[in-house]
Amino acid sequence: MSSRFVVPTSPAQQALRVLGVTVVAWGIKLPSAHAVARRAPHGHVPVRALRRLGAASVVASPSRFLAHSW
């Protein structure tokens, strides 16, 4: 065993090590921390879309708007 080999203590550390080795081996460019922070979280709905949906539900009759639920 070489002195530079470190045994990961958790699955998360092991996953990070595998990703690091893969990135170096394949020459992959990972997104910057800024680019990752810019991404919207999963399930995010923009406020403008929610407003449009709310306005459409006020105009439409409830039976037509919720027809898929019945």
Under the banding of pLDDT at 50, 70 and 90, the label for residue 62 is: low
Q: Which domain holds residue 19?
A: 1-35
For residue 43, give the DSSP letter: T
User: Is 16 a residue whose pLDDT tops 80?
Assistant: yes
4 within domain boundaries: yes
- Residues contacting residue 23 through CB under 8 Å, at least 6 positions apart: 30
Counting the structural domains of the chain, the total is 1
Could you give the percent of the chain with pLDDT greater than 70? 69
Distance of alpha carbon 22 from alpha carbon 16, whole angstroms:
10
27 within domain boundaries: yes
Residue-wise pLDDT tens digits, 45-58: 778 888 888 887 77
10 within domain boundaries: yes
9 within domain boundaries: yes
61 within domain boundaries: no
41 within domain boundaries: no
47 within domain boundaries: no
